[in-house]
Amino acid sequence: MVAPRREVLLPPLHRQTARNGVSYLYRQGAGAPVVFLHGIGSRGESFRELIEALNTSAAVIAWDAPGYGASTPLAEDWPLAERYAEALEALLEELRIERAILVGHSLGTLMAASHARHFAQRLSGLVLMSPALGFGAPAGGPMPEAARARLDEFEKLGPMGYAAKRAAQLVHDAATWPGLVEELALGMASLRQPGYGQAVRMLASGRLLDDVARTPLPCLILCGEEDAITPPAMAQRVEAVCRARPVTADTRLALVPKAGHMVYLEATEAVALHLRDFAMAI
CATH code at position 42: 3.40.50.1820
Report the phi/psi class of residue 237: left, alpha or beta, with left for phi > 0 and alpha for psi in -120 to 50: alpha
User: Does residue 206 lie in a domain region?
Assistant: yes
User: Does residue 1 lie in a domain region?
Assistant: no
For residue 173, the one-letter residue type is D
User: Does residue 187 lie in a domain region?
Assistant: yes
User: Does residue 168 lie in a domain region?
Assistant: yes
| 3-state SS class at 14 | strand
- Angle, CA of 143, 144 and 148, to the nearest 5°: 65
User: Does residue 3 lie in a domain region?
Assistant: no
Which residues are within 8 A (CB) of 166 and not within 5 positions of it... i.e. 6 or more apart? 41, 188
Cα(29)–Cα(216) distance, integer angstroms = 26
The pLDDT score that the predictor gives to residue 6 is 55
pLDDT beneath 50: ranges in the chain = 1-4
Q: Which domain holds residue 83?
A: 14-281
> Burial, 214: exposed, middle or buried (Cβ in 10 Å; 0-12, 13-18, 19+)?
middle
Neighbours of 127 (CB within 10 A): 27
The pLDDT score that the predictor gives to residue 1 is 36
Q: Identify the sign of the CA torsion 269, 63, 87, 146.
A: positive
| 3-state SS class at 226 | coil
Q: How many domains does the chain have?
A: 1
- Residue 16's nearest CA partner among 56, 69, 54 is 69
User: Does residue 236 lie in a domain region?
Assistant: yes
Strands 219-224 and 123-129: parallel
* pTM over 0.75, yes/no: yes
User: Does residue 150 lie in a domain region?
Assistant: yes
Given a contact cutoff of 8 angstroms between Cβ atoms, the answer to whether 62 and 47 are in contact is: yes
The pLDDT score that the predictor gives to residue 248 is 84
User: Does residue 130 lie in a domain region?
Assistant: yes
